[in-house]
């Protein structure tokens, strides 16, 4: 029997409905969210994300401001702009759009963002809290992958999870979240010699490599596994594909997430979920 689909679009819609209500209720009490995006220079895919976030914000009734500084900005100029944005009391969340120009270090710039306002959650403070199981802003894509996997109804406890990819944006936080859900977790990366063999031992397989479309096949999948494909790899015709070869993977898995229509669809709503939770913490702190 082919895999059941982990439907990212349907999950995103449900999250959107819930967030719309909650943002409206807070606004009615005088607590409005304001998200500010900072782009340094321009990049086609990142500009696409900004546009997407802007549209999502409109639907949710959240104020969204897109700021841009020149591509040749120095680190101090970029850091100064970030401090200026985060210093405004009406700004409740900020996003630094990636990639940043090559002469700048995105990780160092992320450290300048006030952690409580960093709704993407990829900085030492938010990641440090994740390691301590004290969740603040969780990295959006990692949280989206876990929420999508949970759509299968799986009881995570005691399952063997394999995460293919070890980036700080996706692989590592996914692994930590699965660990916190009492999975036994194995992390693979580009030096793992026997990727297919390890992946085949997974009850839950999360792929986040982005190296080659369709490189994960049915050979990598244990029959009945849950497979979440995080990768978005640009291919010809302006389309995107994931790490997984849908046909052979979905023939073996019990549940699988498509690309597009999987994790990517959920990530933007998770960004706003983090924005809502940030706002709630701020309101709580001043109550
Ligand atoms: P990244 O920083 O390039 O990390 C890729 C990871 O995959 C690295 O840990 C790398 O290992 C590993 N890897 C690469 N080739 C491999 C191979 N042949 N075998 C085993 N491991 C391999 O990328 P990322 O930022 O984590 O993103 C990963 C994918 O997710 C990309 O396609 C990206 O576009 C996508 N993504 C999607 C969303 C979304 O919202 N859906 C958000 C963010 C990212 P090493 O560490 O050894 O190099």
Task: Note down pLDDT in tens along the chain; length 287 residues.
Answer: 899 999 999 999 999 999 999 999 999 999 999 999 999 999 988 998 999 999 999 999 999 999 999 999 999 999 999 999 999 999 999 999 999 999 999 999 999 999 999 999 999 999 999 999 999 999 999 999 999 999 999 999 999 999 999 999 999 999 999 999 999 999 999 999 999 999 999 999 999 999 999 999 999 999 999 999 999 999 999 899 999 999 999 999 999 999 999 999 999 999 999 999 999 998 876 65
Cβ 12 under 6 angstroms from ligand 1: no
Angstrom distance (rounded) from CA 153 to CA 118: 30
Distance CA 121, CA 135 (A): 10
Q: Sheet holding 4-5: strands in order across?
A: 4-5, 255-256, 226-229, 204-207, 160-164, 184-188
DSSP letter string, 29-80: TT---EEEEEEES--HHHHHHHHHHHHHHHHHT-EEEEEEE-TT--HHHHHH
Residue among 91, 80, 242, 105 nearest 170 (CA): 242
Residue 220 CA to ligand 1 center (angstroms) comes to 17
Mutate to test the pocket of ligand 1, among 189, 215, 219, 259 (most ligand atoms within 8 A of CB): 189
Kindly report the protein residue whose alpha carbon is nearest to atom 1 of ligand 1. 167
Nearest atom in ligand 1 to 210's CA: 32
How far apart CA 96 and CA 38 sit, in angstroms, is 5
Ligand 1 centroid – CA 208 distance (Å): 5
Q: Which atom of ligand 1 is nearest the CA belonging to 192? A: 20
| Residue of minimum CA distance from atom 30 in ligand 1 | 231
Closest listed residue to residue 36, CA positions, set 287, 269, 283, 271: 271
Can you give the pLDDT at residue 241?
97
Question: What number of other Cβ atoms are within 10 A of residue 81's Cβ?
Answer: 19
Nearest ligand 1 atom to the CA of 263 is: 41
Task: Tell me how far apart the alpha carbons of residues 186 and 261 are, in angstroms, rounded to a whole number.
Answer: 26
State in Å: Cα 232 to ligand 1 middle.
9
Q: Is the CB of 165 under 6 A from ligand 1?
A: yes
The closest-lying atom of ligand 1 relative to the alpha carbon of residue 242 is 32
Q: Which domains does the chain have, with CATH numbers?
A: 31-114 (3.40.50.10860), 140-264 (3.40.50.720)
pLDDT score recorded for residue 287: 56
Distance 212 CA to ligand 1 centre (A): 10
Q: Which atom of ligand 1 is nearest to the CA of 243?
A: 32
Distance (Å) of CA 53 to CA 36, 49, 104, 146, 201: 10, 6, 24, 21, 37
pLDDT at 1 (0 to 100): 80
Pairing between strand 204-207 and 184-188? unpaired
The residue with tokens 């898995």 is 253
Residue 208 tokens read as: 């986040």
Does ligand 1 come within 6 angstroms of the Cβ of 183? Answer: no
Q: Is 139 in the pocket of ligand 1 (CB under 6 A)?
A: no
| Rounded-to-integer distance, Cα 49 and Cα 43, Å | 10
Determine whether the shortest distance from the Cβ of 244 to ligand 1 is under 6 A: no
Over the stretch 129-156, which tens digit does the pLDDT of each residue have? Answer: 999 999 999 999 999 999 999 999 999 9
Task: List the beta strands (DSSP E) in 62-145.
Answer: 63-69, 93-96
E strand or H helix that includes residue 208: none
């Amino acid at each position: 029997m082919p895999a059941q689909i982990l439907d990212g679009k349907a999950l995103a819609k449900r999250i959107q409905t819930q967030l719309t209500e909650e943002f409206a209720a807070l606004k009615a009490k005088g607590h409005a969210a304001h998200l500010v995006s900072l782009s340094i220079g321009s990049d086609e895919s990142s500009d696409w994300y900004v546009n997407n976030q802007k549209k999502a914000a409109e639907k949710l009734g959240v104020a969204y401001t897109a700021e841009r500084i020149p591509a040749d900005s120095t680190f101090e100029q970029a850091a100064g702009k970030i401090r200026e944005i985060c210093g405004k009391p009406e700004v409740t969340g900020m996003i630094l759009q990636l990639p940043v120009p090559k002469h700048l270090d995105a990780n160092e710039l992320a450290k300048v963002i006030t952690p409580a306002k960093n709704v993407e959650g990829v900085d030492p403070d938010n990641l440090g809290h994740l390691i301590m199981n004290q969740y603040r802003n969780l990295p959006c894509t990692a949280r989206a992958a876990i929420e999508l996997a949970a759509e299968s109804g799986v009881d995570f406890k005691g399952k063997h999870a394999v995460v293919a990819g070890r980036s700080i944006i996706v692989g590592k936080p996914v692994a930590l979240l699965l660990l916190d859900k009492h999975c036994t977790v194995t992390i693979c990366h580009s030096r793992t010699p026997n990727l297919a063999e390890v992946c085949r031992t997974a009850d839950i397989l999360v792929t986040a490599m982005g190296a080659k479309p369709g490189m994960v096949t049915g050979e990598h999948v244990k029959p009945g596994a849950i497979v979440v494909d995080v990768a978005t790899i640009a291919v010809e015709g302006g389309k995107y594909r994931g790490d997984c070869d849908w046909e052979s993977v979905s023939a073996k898995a019990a549940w699988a997430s498509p690309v597009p229509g999987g994790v990517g669809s959920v990530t933007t709503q998770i960004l706003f979920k983090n924005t809502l939770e940030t706002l709630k913490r701020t309101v709580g702190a001043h109550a």
